[in-house]
Structure 1
Amino acid sequence: MNFYQSLGFLVFGSRLKRLGDTFLGDVSAIYKAHQIPFDASWFPVFYLLSREKEVSIKDIAETLNTSHSAASQMVSNLEEKGLIKTTASASDARRKVVTFTSKGSKLLQKIQPVWEALQQAMQQLAHESAASAQVLTALTELENNIQANSLFNRVEACLTKKESQQNEL
């Protein structure tokens, strides 16, 4: 058992970040090894656009559960690279929609096989042990529990209870 594992929940966030960094590093290395100029941080917007012909910035923000400003920054970054474009909606000129450029569509064709292989590899990894097979379910439950009652609120409740007990002494 390594140092991080021995500390349990005390470093849970750090372990998740390290694991996420490891996954993203490997995914970036895969794109680089296959000479695909794609940054893993672009995935959410690319994936949404791969499923829809056009998506509004508002829809991107809502789907990704992020601020409109953060979604707009992601879109601006991809626009600067010439991969997507923003135009007025045909149905409502006040609404801006995002679509792929031809360059973005060509890049999507190159990365989709990587996504399929990544999905297969992750399925294999998840089924290497009984506990690993439950990781997505457990992660979803944890996310839902935190959404219902934040870690901040939970820690504050523990501290308040501890202070109350100490004051009773």
Structure 2
Amino acid sequence: MEDILRSLGFLCLGSRMKRIGELLQADTQRVLNRLDMRIQASQYPLLAALDRLGPLPVGELAQSLGVAQPGVTRSVALLAELGLVEVNPADDDQRRRIVSLTGN
């Protein structure tokens, strides 16, 4: 079957790049699954951001990754269940939640 995105060339470059990214992430996840890793490939950037930038509010963490806040909130909850991050209220505003790495 004809690959429409490929045949349209530069007109659909963004869609083609997105497809490549999804394929790379799927391949990475297969490797992680074989290694019995506890986290998903999509969660590594979040952990890397916290490692590099230190504890951050959820909104700033989402902004640093260039993704939507609800997705970060879901990932943070999963990583907290695994004991890899902890979430605490901010000192200055109890509504804000600060995410930090644990020692695990």
TM-score normalised according to structure 1 size: 0.49
The AA in structure 2 aligned to 1:92 is: D
Q: Which runs of structure 2 are paired with 1:141-152 in the superposition (5 Å)?
A: none
Percent identity, aligned pairs only, is 28
How many residues align? The count is 101
Q: CA deviation at 1:39?
A: 0.5
The RMSD of aligned alpha carbons is: 2.5
Q: Distance between the aligned counterparts of 1:26 and 1:32, measured in 2? A: 10
Q: Which has the higher strand share?
A: 2
Which amino acid letter does the alignment assign opposite residue 50 of structure 1? D
Residue of structure 1 in register with 2:76 after alignment: 75
Contact 1:48–1:55, Cα closer than 8 Å, also in 2 = no
Following superposition, the deviation at residue 100 of structure 1 comes to: 2.1
One-letter amino acid of the counterpart of residue 33, structure 2? K
TM-score, normalising length: structure 2: 0.71
4-13 or 16-25, larger mean C-alpha shift: 4-13
Q: Could you tell me which runs of 5 or more consecutive residues in structure 2 were left unpaired when the two chains were aligned.
A: none
Say if 2:39 and 2:79, in contact at 8 Å, map to a contact too: no
* Larger helix fraction of residues: 1
In structure 2, the residue matched to 1:138 is: none
- Pairing 1:43-58 to 2, within 5 Å after superposition: 43-58=44-59
- Offset at residue 19 of structure 1 (A): 0.7
- How far did residue 10 of structure 1 move? 4.2
- Alignment partner of 2:13: what SS? helix
Report which of the two structures shows the higher radius of gyration computed on alpha carbons: 1
Tell me the equivalent position of 2:35.
34
> Residues 48 and 32 of structure 1: is their aligned pair in 2 closer, same or farther, counting only changes over 3 Å?
same
Three-state SS of the structure 1 residue aligned to 2:39 is coil
The residue number in structure 2 matching 1:92 is: 92
Shift of 1:63: 1.3
Higher RCO, 1 or 2 (CA under 8 Å, sep at least 6)? 2
